[in-house]
Amino acid sequence: MHIFLNLKFFMEKARVLYISQEITPYVPEAEIANISRNLPEKTQESGKEVRIFMPRYGCINERRHQLHEVIRLSGLNIVIDDADHPLIIKVASIPTARMQVYFIDNEEYFERKTVLHDNDGNFHEDNDERAMFFCRGVLETVKKLGWNPDIIHCHGWMTSLIPLYLRKKFSDDPVFAKAKIVTSIYDKSFEGSLDSRFAEKIMMDGFEQDEVAALSNPTYENVAKFAVQNSDAVIVAGENLDSSIHDTINEQGIPFLGYQNPESYFEAYSEFYNEVLEENQVLL
């Protein structure tokens, strides 16, 4: 008799790494922020082990939320556009959920008192570099933690480089060797495009031109499609995605989950995780 058995699942809890650009209660409520807050809690309650990362925006009240620096994880310098930027790691707990959230911090990128737009509603000109720093900072910190995730679930365009970095820059790292990358694509969250040198800056991180050519015009749609093309699985988390993003998802031939009601999505997400993890199972 053939039995599918995920050996690691039975030896220890499956591990899910959540990376999000927004999480309540640290930023105002929105669909992505609410899902990024509630999904990890439900996943943890289902018996899996979770870790959560987000940027430490300057509008977050560190005293109220009791953030504190994790000295042993801080201190690394990350090079963005030929300049060194110190990585600071902070952590806080969500008492009602018994969960910790790790924050990626840097004075230049995240000290300002706004999130992605300034007080006049203008998109920050360096959001491309902030995304690069955030993605690199998360993966470097997970390496230091020595915590091997089974699933890495990305939320928001700021996480769009995570799949690329995992495929290319961290491909030989044992911490990420068995991780499956799941990307949730939300409705359009910025107009225009990121800095025109976005692809050039990524190439300075050791990538070839053809690996980042899709980002030569870094509109929201192109950034989202780029994340999809480098992921193992996709969740449609927005009701009004551009048709070209849907086309890219279909073209990849990877597992995908259609849009779910935000009030009752967890069961579908959990089943989808199991579907993605089946690729790691062993036939006995």
pLDDT in tens, 18-63: 999 999 999 999 999 999 999 999 999 999 999 999 999 999 999 9
Label the pairing between strands 77-80 and 83-86: antiparallel
pLDDT at 197 over 70: yes
**Dihedral angle over CA of 202, 53, 77, 196, nearest 10:** 20
CB-neighbour burial class of residue 220 (10 A; exposed 0-12, middle 13-18, buried 19+): buried
In this prediction, what percent of the chain has a pLDDT beyond 90? 90
What proportion of the chain, given as a percentage, has pLDDT over 70?
94
Residue 17 has pLDDT above 80, yes or no: yes
CA distance linking residue 245 with residue 264, whole number of Å: 24
Backbone torsions φ then ψ of 129, nearest 5 degrees: -70, -35
Q: Given this model, what pLDDT does residue 162 score?
A: 98
> What pLDDT is recorded for position 96?
86
Q: How many residues does the chain have?
A: 284
Task: Quote the CA–CA distance of 48 and 164 in Å, as a whole number.
Answer: 25
Confidence band of 262 (pLDDT split at 50, 70, 90): confident
Identify the residue with better confidence: 262 or 64: 64
What does the block give as tokens for 23? 């999480």
Please name which of 153, 178, 163 lies closest in space to residue 226, comparing C-alpha atoms.
163
Residue 8 has pLDDT above 80, yes or no: no
Mean pLDDT score of the chain, rounded to an integer?
A: 93
Task: Please state, in angstroms and rounded to a whole number, the distance separating the CA atoms of residues 100 and 219.
Answer: 33
Give the per-residue pLDDT at 281: 55
Structural domain harbouring 250: 4-283
pLDDT for residue 4 is more than 50 = no
Q: Is the pLDDT of residue 247 over 70?
A: yes
Question: Can you give the pTM of this predicted structure?
Answer: 0.94
pLDDT band at 10 (very low <50, low <70, confident <90, very high): very low
Helix (H, G, I), strand (E, B) or coil at 98: coil
Structure tokens at 59: 């509008």
| Better-scored residue on pLDDT, 100 or 280 | 100
pLDDT for residue 280: 59
pLDDT recorded at residue 13: 83
- Residue 204, C-beta contacts closer than 8 angstroms, at least 6 positions apart: 79, 81, 82
Query: Considering its fold, how many domains does the chain have in total?
Result: 1
- Are 245 and 228 in contact by the 8 Å Cβ rule? The answer is yes
> CA–CA separation, 1 vs 284, rounded Å?
8
Q: Measuring CA to CA, which residue among 165, 147, 19 is closest to residue 78?
A: 165
Kindly report the CATH number assigned to the domain that includes residue 205.
Answer: 3.40.50.2000
pLDDT digits (tens, 9 = 90+) for 115-139: 999 999 999 999 999 999 999 999 9
